[in-house]
Structure 1
Amino acid sequence: MDWNDLKYFLAVARTGSLTRTSADLGVSQSTVGRRIAEFEESIGMVLFQRHQTGYFLTDEGREMLGHAERVEDSILALERGAAGLDKTPAGTVRLATSENLATDLIIPALPAFRDRYPGICLEIITSTVTAELGRREADIALRVVRPTRGNLTVRRVGHMTYSVYGSRDYIERHPPIAGEPLGGRHFIAWDDGHAFMPAAAWLAREYPGCKIALVTSSLPAQIAAVRAGLGLAVIPDFLTVREDFIRVIPPDQMFSAEVWLVTHADLVASARVRAVGDFLTEEVMRANPELSGRQAPAPTPGAR
């Protein structure tokens, strides 16, 4: 048995697709298919039923999956333990966070980080899907939802507030209606695939019948749409400091979220992971009053 084949087996079992697995692993579909076939031949079992719609585990495949995941857990624990022994801040650190935190806070601060830690290569993973620290999809994460399971070290590093905003031009073209902040106005909303997002849940709960002008799957697209004068959107307050936006519904009538720094417990002692975590906390989060909890300048005139 080639133990490297377990990586291909686990990936196909989780995605059910040669195409997605090849993209995730950075190899061709034919390579994935060949490694699966070789793995099945080496253990004398058919692990997948092949269909046009994907690869589906057989009974033997489901049994093998449990064994393979236990082997994977042991290997990952070994890797985390070895990484936690490093005393020099050098090497690659995978950071999982949201796109807006990456582009508007972390990346602008990276020149200073590189000057301080030239031996660290930071790999940023941005997605609305939570990366699994336990499976080494990331080493450290900035999240607005506190994880409730896993062998993790969690630290509160900031506080994010939200408001409903529109561009100055849009608000002037659609003046307020007394008692109806969304009256006569359109909204820029999340698509159904992101209904779990706090902003999407808030809109569905508070204004289920509002008029929708645009549906998107990313916050940067929503901000661009507000800037273009298409309508209103829920935006984190720290992202509007440099925008000519008008606050329509203030944060005390909205929701807020804590920002959490999450690290796998096995990596807390790692010099490179600790360096990234300290930099995120001290230089990125605390340097921004809108996230640190300190009083920040009002981004716009009062609610309209």
Structure 2
Amino acid sequence: MKDAARSLAWDDFRLIDAVAATRNLPAAAAKLGIDHSTVFRRLKAVEALLGTPLFERHRSGYTLTPAGEEMASLAARVDQDITAVTRRLSGQAPAPSGEVRVATSDSLLSDLLMPMLARFRQANPAIRLDLVTGNAALNLSRRDADVAVRATDSPPDTLVGRRAARIAWALYGAPGVTTEGDWVCLGDNLAGLKVVRFARAAVPAERLAGRFDTVLGLAHAVAAGIGVGHLPCFIGDSWPSLIRLQPPEADYASDLWLLTHPDLRHTPRVRALMDSLGEQITAKRPLIEGTMPREG
């Protein structure tokens, strides 16, 4: 069977596909542009070569046997592969299209991803973006989203993707504000972060001016002068109203991941977005990782 399968030509697969699609020999012959008797003779030859029948003849027409179903499925995949290759080689490959739902946090979206998504859309106008923001990780296995851009050191085992950068955190304040004054930090919903545990342990309660349930809200509070606080360097080093007061603390850093479900990783629109964001985030790694000198 294995050696016999190697002897099959592309025309044999086209024959199997045509009979499976039309379920009768005259229609298959018309589809292939050959006569009825030739289809009958070649089908018998293929079945003899494989040593097993591919079709059963009933009053309703030709139906696939289990072996025939496998061969018809293979024929369809071969046809798709050949079509894709010839289109690509001739410069006619269709552009990725459709909708991609992206889950991320508000701070990552507004201060890092938005310009990247704009460039991606310019290069892929047939792809629509559906953005979902929040700090809770959506369940990609239930397709709450197609792609997740998350800061985490423990991505779910059920997802696949790439670690794009390491997010550095440092202490920032508004001009004129010092570490001797009030502090602000993140709230209970982000208590798992080391920066939150530090603030609770090291800052006296009477000096903790406020807690915020989003990183973006915390950044605005620091910029407004409510207190000093730890922020991701991609925010702190890019906002003119923020001043870095201490160097990044390695223990507070977390990985930035681009994640998707295994069933979606080869989908053209998902792959296009993952590749684009991966390249653009790599170019921004000095800012994200806190190693880019601040102008001025």
1:124/1:135 CA distance change after superposition, 3 Å: same
Matched, 1:112 2:109: no
Paired residue for 2:143?
136
- CA distance, structure 2, for counterparts of residue 140 and residue 129 of structure 1: 14
The one-letter code of the counterpart of 2:256 is V
Distance, in Å, in 2 between the alignment partners of 1:167 and 1:206 is 20
Residue in structure 1 matched with residue 199 of structure 2 by the alignment: 203
Report what 2:264 is aligned to.
267
**Aligned to 2:271, what secondary structure does the other structure show?**
helix
Q: Secondary structure at the match of 1:251?
A: coil
Q: Does residue 1:258 correspond to 2:255, yes or no?
A: yes
Q: Distance in 2 between matches of 1:219 and 1:132?
A: 21
Distance 1:284 1:253 in 2: 20
- TM-score for the superposition, normalised by structure 1: 0.60
Match of 2:66 in 1: none
Q: 1:157 is matched with which residue?
A: 164
Q: What percentage of aligned pairs have identical amino acids?
A: 29
Amino acid at match of 1:211: R
Distance across 2 between alignment mates of 1:250 and 1:216: 23
Letter in 2 for 1:286: A
Matches within 5 A, 1:1-304: 88-171=95-178, 182=179, 184-207=180-203, 209=205, 211-240=207-236, 241-252=238-249, 255-291=252-288, 295-298=291-294
- For 1:209 and 1:253, how far apart are their aligned partners in 2? 25
Using the alignment, how far apart are the partners of 1:139 and 1:253 within structure 2? 31
Give the Cα separation in 1 of the matches to 2:123 and 2:281. 14
Which deviates the most, 258-267 or 139-148?
Answer: 139-148
* Local SS of the residue matching 2:177: helix
Aligned 8 A contact 1:134 1:150 in 2: no
Q: Distance in 2 between matches of 1:276 and 1:148?
A: 19
SS at match of 1:297: coil
CA contact (8 A) 1:187 1:233 kept: yes
Give the aligned CA root-mean-square deviation in angstroms: 2.6
Name segments (4+ residues, structure 1) moved above 6 Å: none
Where does residue 40 of structure 2 map in the other structure? none
Distance of 1:272 and 1:206 partners within structure 2? 46
Runs of at least 5 residues in structure 1 that lack an aligned partner in the other structure: 1-84, 172-181
Structure 2 Cα separation of the partners of residues 158 and 98 of structure 1? 16
Maintained 8 Å contact 2:234/2:290: no
Residues 233-281 of structure 1, C-alpha deviations (whole Å, 9 max, x = no match): 1100111223232322321365211111111111111000001101111
Larger radius of gyration: 2
The letter of the residue matching 1:249 is: Q
